[in-house]
């Protein structure tokens, strides 16, 4: 009797299709080498921003129906453009916060949309109040909400992966957001070093390791589409000789 169930090794028909792994590898290698050799080179900045934009293009091609993933990656790219011009711009961090909220919606929007909207509303109201009365530096306030958002995404992607350990895109999401947080920790060290709250010698290595974690995180997050799971479920049904199902 033929087995009626089989755990797939991957969750879409062709994970990481060529030539994307080679592109990612070359861009990451360039970021590491140029980041060590000439960290203030315009070419390095162009490669970094170009690499983030290619993550958006990748999602467009591989997951054409996942509009929220595409929008979140595009918003992330816009934030990087702003921070490339001014690496302490509050607008850039605010747009990053918006991107994290979009990721939360696509990962858990069906179950927790009310809570997500409430969180976004609280963030907006609090920032408006702080803008009027200037209670604390706006950067700290934005970062506070941002930390809550990214830790939430780490948790929901971890829970998604725990529910199905063989789910490749769930693992990509969990590891991607974890590396994203590592990048943010380095960015925080860099910012505090720039403002003389941390030793100045930490500024350069923190900037280097921020992108060391950040670019792989975006590759992984761009592969965390839940639409891949839906597609694979249909494939499994056909492979198992199912005669009914969507």
Domain count for the chain: 1
24 to each of 90, 142, 224, how far by Cα in Å? 29, 31, 16
Check: pTM over 0.75? Answer yes or no.
Answer: yes
**In this structure, is residue 130 part of a structural domain?**
yes
**In this structure, is residue 231 part of a structural domain?**
no
| Cβ neighbourhood burial of 207 (10 Å; 0-12, 13-18, 19+) | buried
**In this structure, is residue 3 part of a structural domain?**
no
CA 180 to chain centre: 6
189 to each of 64, 178, 182, 208, how far by Cα in Å? 37, 17, 11, 11
**In this structure, is residue 5 part of a structural domain?**
no
**In this structure, is residue 154 part of a structural domain?**
yes
User: Residue-wise pLDDT tens for the chain (246 aa)?
Assistant: 444 444 444 445 578 999 999 999 999 999 999 999 999 999 999 999 999 999 999 999 999 999 999 999 999 999 999 999 999 999 999 999 999 999 999 999 888 999 999 999 999 999 999 999 999 999 999 999 999 999 999 999 999 999 999 999 999 999 999 999 999 999 999 999 999 999 999 999 999 999 999 999 999 999 999 987 555 544 444 445 444 444
Structural domain boundaries, residue 130:
20-223
**In this structure, is residue 135 part of a structural domain?**
yes
**In this structure, is residue 6 part of a structural domain?**
no
């Amino acid at each position: 009797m033929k087995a009626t169930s089989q755990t797939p090794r991957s969750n879409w028909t062709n994970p990481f299709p060529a030539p994307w792994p080679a592109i990612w590898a070359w861009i990451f290698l360039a970021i590491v080498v140029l980041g060590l050799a000439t960290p203030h080179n315009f070419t390095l900045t162009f490669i970094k921003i170009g690499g983030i934009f290619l993550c958006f293009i990748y999602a467009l091609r591989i997951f054409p129906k996942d509009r929220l993933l595409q929008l979140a990656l595009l918003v992330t790219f816009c934030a990087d453009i702003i921070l490339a011009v001014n690496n302490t711009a509050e607008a850039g961090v605010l747009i990053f916060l918006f991107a994290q909220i979009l990721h939360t919606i696509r990962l858990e929007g069906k179950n927790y949309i009310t809570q997500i909207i409430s969180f976004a509303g609280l963030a907006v109201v609090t920032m408006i109040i702080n803008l009027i009365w200037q209670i604390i530096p706006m950067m700290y306030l934005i970062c506070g909400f941002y930390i809550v958002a990214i830790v939430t995404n780490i948790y929901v992607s971890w829970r998604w992966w725990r529910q199905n350990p063989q789910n490749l895109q769930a693992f990509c999401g969990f590891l991607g957001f974890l590396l994203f947080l590592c990048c943010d920790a380095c960015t925080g060290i860099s910012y505090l070093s720039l403002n003389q709250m941390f030793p100045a010698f930490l500024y350069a290595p923190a900037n280097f390791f921020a992108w060391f974690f950040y670019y792989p995180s975006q590759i992984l997050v761009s592969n965390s589409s839940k639409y891949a799971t839906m597609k694979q479920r249909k494939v499994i049904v056909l492979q198992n000789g199912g005669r009914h199902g969507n």
